[in-house]
Amino acid sequence: MLGYGAGMSEMAEIPAISDNVESVVSAELAHGDGVLGTVAPILRHLIASDDRALFGEEPIARVRGMLGDLARQLLEAPLTEPLDEAQDPARVAVLLTGFFEIPGMLGHVHALALEGQLAERLHSRLALDPVLPPLLQVLIASPDAPTAASVMNLLAAQARFIQTQRRMQLPLTELPGDLLHGALLVMRTHAAADDRASAAEAEIRARYDESRSRLGLIARLVTGMGAGAVAALSVTHAGVAIFATALALASGQDRDLAVLSTNETQLARLALALRAAGVKVPGIEEQFLALHPEVALPEGFDRLGPDRAAAMLARSAVRAGG
């Protein structure tokens, strides 16, 4: 899926040594961590390259498209230049370079690209609606008016996400707060002391409400489900977006990392995250059947309890990208 030439060490091909399952999974996790460690520098190289032939892989094209869209929004916001000059590739490139220095920006945009791609793949293969999965179909019929209204807001946000992914766009106000702050600092540096840029920054900050963003709405929905949030740990029931958030919250990981764990190079991380979230082995096997039907858990995996799985993930301490 990544298309970087990073080898995949399938758990299905690992010898089933039930007495040594922790060593097997730890080795697979270490391999996946090594792959994650290469993501940010490779993304920087590919996105900064002038050779458009390098952007044949869909996730890379989506990442570059979204970053370029963010740059154009920042250039047009203060209207310090005519719109045709604001679209100048050289000016966009300046902001792209600034984005590379924002901690977590590349990793977040890359995770969004993978999330959108996975949602489309499961829609094609399993007929899983990327906007209205079964879980939301149930919740939207809730007699509780606030719940139903919250679900409607989420549906609208998710529909916009799918549309903007297809257009390779990313609204500034859909960024997490720390990343929006970093992007605005990049704009401030680019526009120097321009008064219009300062006014534009103030206006963007004033209308920003992270709780009303798509990710904010999903997080509020999952946390509001309480013990019922276990239903969100089924990707075929909750859909990719809600599943990723529920997995992140239940396993104590960053959401971007939870999204990346669905990638074929991160099989051990996905299995451990689900186990740390309290999902039993049959439930984990169901998620693998949906996401990686050709892969089986190693024999003896059920001997790893949730606490042990969580400890192994905590030792990993890998970010989703720089």
What is the CA angle 85-199-83, rounded to 5?
15
Q: Compute CA 161 distance to the chain's CA centroid, rounded to the nearest angstrom.
A: 12
Query: Given a cut of 70, is residue 235 above it in pLDDT?
Result: yes
27, 47 in Cβ contact below 8 A? no
pLDDT of residue 111: 94
pLDDT of residue 5: 33
Computed over every residue of the chain, the mean pLDDT equals 84
pLDDT of residue 10: 43
161, two tokens:
């996400």
Q: How far is CA 13 from CA 71, 193, 267, in A?
A: 44, 58, 12
pLDDT of residue 49: 56
118, 64 in Cβ contact below 8 A? no
293, two tokens:
């039907």
In this predicted model, which residue has the larger pLDDT, 16 or 71?
A: 71
In this predicted model, which residue has the larger pLDDT, 204 or 82?
A: 204
* Structure confidence by residue, pLDDT tens digits, 8-55: 344 444 334 344 778 778 887 877 777 676 666 767 766 665 444 333
Query: Given a cut of 90, is residue 306 above it in pLDDT?
Result: yes
* Structure confidence by residue, pLDDT tens digits, 268-284: 999 999 999 999 999 99
Burial per residue of 218-231, b for 16 or more beta-carbon CB atoms within 10 angstroms, e otherwise: bbbbbeebeeebeb
d(CA 196, CA 213): 26
pLDDT band of residue 146 (cuts 50, 70, 90) is confident
Domain ranges, ordered by start, for the chain: 31-316
Most confident of 49-53, 91-95, 257-261: 257-261
d(CA 60, CA 46): 8
Q: What share of the chain is helix, strand, coil (3-state, %, to 5)?
A: 75, 0, 25
148, two tokens:
């139903």
Which is nearest to 319 in space by CA: 34, 11, 37?
A: 37
Average pLDDT over residues 71-86: 68
pLDDT band of residue 157 (cuts 50, 70, 90) is very high
Rg over CA atoms, the chain: 20
pLDDT of residue 191: 63
d(CA 313, CA 94): 37
- Of 4-13, 134-143, 297-306, the poorest mean pLDDT is in 4-13
The proportion of the chain whose per-residue pLDDT surpasses 90, expressed as a percent, equals 60
d(CA 263, CA 70): 25
pLDDT of residue 320: 55
pLDDT of residue 196: 76
Transcribe 238-282 into DSSP letters.
HHHHHHHHHHHHHHT--HHHHHHTTSTT-HHHHHHHHHHTT--HH
pTM over 0.95: no
